[in-house]
């Protein structure tokens, strides 16, 4: 019983006590900067948002489709179907969605604005990168975004969410 009480108190502190919001500020700033930097890099690249928009995402996704073979494929067939039938035919649109999505998630997390929603969309993008067979830093970013979602009550406390929450109360 003592262990359970201890872990419950630690859990409540980390995920519900505003005194721990400084921890979530650090996580938000790291995630936000990572997303913003990735989005700005794409924004500057004409293969993502310029005269040849869509070509970079096509190269990325065609590489993902190559990972659907072998005994243990990195990309599952259902996701390959999604790539082939939903994304590749609209590569230019998805190129802009990814670019601006990364920028918006980054800005929102840095500002602590709609933290739960922006964490969700960041996690959603990470899941898609992982499903496309790209590991890199994506598992770490996904875990951090999921932790922010778990701490949604206080994750934006040091940020604009504080004022939104205060106004809606």
Distance, in Å, from the CA atom of 90 to the CA atom of 97, rounded to the nearest integer, reads 11
Query: How far apart are alpha carbons 159 and 111 in whole angstroms?
Result: 6
pLDDT 10s per residue in the chain (169 long)? Answer: 456 788 889 989 999 999 999 999 999 999 999 999 999 999 999 999 999 999 999 999 999 999 999 899 999 999 999 999 999 999 999 999 999 999 999 999 999 999 999 999 999 999 999 999 999 999 999 999 999 999 999 999 999 999 998 887 6
* pLDDT value at residue 6: 87
Predicted structure pTM score: 0.92
Please, what is the angle between helix 55-65 and helix 91-111, to 10°?
100
Residues 6+ apart with CB under 8 A from 14: 20, 23, 151
């Amino acid at each position: 019983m003592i262990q359970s009480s201890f872990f419950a108190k630690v859990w409540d502190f980390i995920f519900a006590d505003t005194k721990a919001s400084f921890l979530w500020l650090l996580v938000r700033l790291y995630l936000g900067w990572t997303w913003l930097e990735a989005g700005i890099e794409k924004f500057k690249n004409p293969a993502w948002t310029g005269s040849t928009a869509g070509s970079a995402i096509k190269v990325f996704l065609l590489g993902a489709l190559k990972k659907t073979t072998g005994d243990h494929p990195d990309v599952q067939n259902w996701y390959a179907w999604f790539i082939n039938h939903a994304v590749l035919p609209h590569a230019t649109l998805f190129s802009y969605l990814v670019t601006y999505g990364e920028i918006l998630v980054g800005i929102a997390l840095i500002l602590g604005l709609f933290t739960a929603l922006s964490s969700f969309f960041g996690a959603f993008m990470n899941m898609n990168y992982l499903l496309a067979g790209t590991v890199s830093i994506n598992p770490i970013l996904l875990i951090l975004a999921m932790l922010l979602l778990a701490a949604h009550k206080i994750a934006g406390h040091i940020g604009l969410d504080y004022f939104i929450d205060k106004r809606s109360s």
